Structure 1
Amino acid sequence: DKAVYLLGNSSPPASAQLCYENVTGSCVKTPYSPGPRLILYTVFASGAVLAVFGNLLVMTSILHFKQLHSPTNLLIASLACADFLVGVTVMPFSMVRSVESCWYFGRSFCTFHTCCDVAFCYSSLFHLCFISIDRYIAVTDPLVYPTKFTVSVSGICIGVSWILPLAYSGAVFYTGAYDDGLEELSSALNCVGGCQVVVNQFWLWVDFLLFFTPTCVIIILYSNIFLVARKQAKRIENINSKVEEVSGTHKIRVAKRERKAAKTLGVTVVAFLISWLPYMIDSFIDSFLGFITPSYVYEIFSWFGYCNSALNPFIYALFYPWFRRAMKLIITGQVIKDSSSNVNLFSN
């Protein structure tokens, strides 16, 4: 372990490879053999490419086609932007660190990389929290929903989802407050060629609250959403009179559409939580156990979370016919035609 050599004030074995040869204080390098190395680069690079281009398709679809300019879809587009930025600013550099076991991009960029990593994760979570509120209102009161959750309200939610995570992440990592009391361990882990953040227990408690408070809100709201949806489904099934059926047709159709959207976004929420919970739980517990998690386990949990950014476009493609139609129009270049933004994506 590279931290052990430095904490013990001893030199690594002469046979050990260093991230920077002939540089005092260099981290010890533990490279993979060529076969596994190629496989890892292929897998990680594929995830980054899918995150970038998949979310770019989502953003382009929603922003280009006027029919998709709804409050919910604007939140989805902003969520896709967070995932897109993970694919651009976080995944490529984490890929090199994971495979090479060294950080070759300098200390300043290490801080920036960590800041982006944390900020975009929380931004995604806050977006999902606001989306769950949006879906709760839409399902419980579908006819009044358009007047309650407007584009302006959606814009405020998007602003909060970006400003708070960026402000928090920047304040913690650019002030150096995150490793107060752990300077020796942090210095050991961040030898020349290292970029591993050690966060003290105070800020881990803050992280815990920031992650699990929105998570609890999401779980409670989606639990209520599916209870209400089930009651609505039973109520629709119990409609016997043709007069009642005709008079309630619009309300039934709206309720069905909102329930379907809620289920789809519920899958997105579950995917996010499954992806990031192992990392968050491990980080929290690890701080109380003296940071004993092996580096390869840390990397696995990190990439499990990163891959969520590449997963959401697949979820939309699977459940949203409008996204599949929009994607086809974009890929075939038909969006450059005049009036393409007015195409009806909901036609059969």
Structure 2
Amino acid sequence: MQDFDVVIIGGGPIGIACGLEAKKQGVSYVIIEKGPIVNSLFNYPINMQFFSSSEKLEIDEIPFISKEAKPKRNEALEYYRRIVTSNNLNIHLFEKVLQVEKGDQSFTVETDKDQYNAKNIIVATGFYDLPNKINVPGEDLPKVSHYYKDPHFYASQKLAVVGASNSAIDAALECWRKGAEVTLIIRGPEVGQRVKYWVRPDIINRIEEGSIKAHYNSTVKEIKPDEIILDTPEGELTLANDFVLALTGYRPNFAFLEKLGIQLSADEKRLPTYDPETMETNVSGLFLAGVICGGMETHKWFIENSRIHAPIIMKAIKQKMQMAEKDS
């Protein structure tokens, strides 16, 4: 068993920021990531462009230079990978945390490869791993996906895109431009207001000219191998269909948080309990960092406004360590 002052669960941008801060403060640490470096970003669509400018995605004041003001996925992967390698961060990749147990003085973290002992735990796991299901018959068919990668796959196919936010709108536009016959299924009365400001007019124009079909105030009732059935204001509608992209958002792993003993709000927001001055949860020595702090309010925290969590947390951990030394 390896001993550390802190185990950081999650090797995304904020987990990396926590590792940098730990190294700076002389706090022994390990970052455990179940996939590659910045796994969530790696799984973003190939052509994705960030809403934020490159300087707002910087961590530890390390410059992020991109070709355009708003960088693309491949540039972000390069930026964060270089930070990890050039700073020789202690990160264990493709290692999955199985359970975390709290003892009297420390935590025991068991993974599928090893076991660790740590006085503190930082959970920086984001929310991209668990999609919000639409819970209809046929959602488990092979033609249905909750993740979108490359528009080439859908060329010359009848594609239904469920959703009205950035991921759904980006997919609809890209796939249409690669030759897919795209239909948008939108639960509300319009395209989402949070869609990137340079993209929203584009999708509205494509809908108005008839290039992309859109069904507003509509939901999916059932998905069949060659069809999709909708509930629309005009009644039930059956469309010929080859593939479905159900891009209806994602959620944190609440079961994991609850298993750790973190209290969540009883309402639909499922907000975790933590002290904003230290980011420490109701479990002593257990901290939260990044977008996971927002519960179901996944639009609340981003890289740009949660990168401050790293120095806040490490300051609190350092103070705890100093107090322990005085008491010993």
TM-score between the two structures when normalised by the length of structure 2: 0.32
Higher-strand-fraction structure: 2
Which structure has the higher relative contact order (CA within 8 Å, separation 6+)? 1
Higher-helix-fraction structure: 1
The structure with more radius of gyration: 1
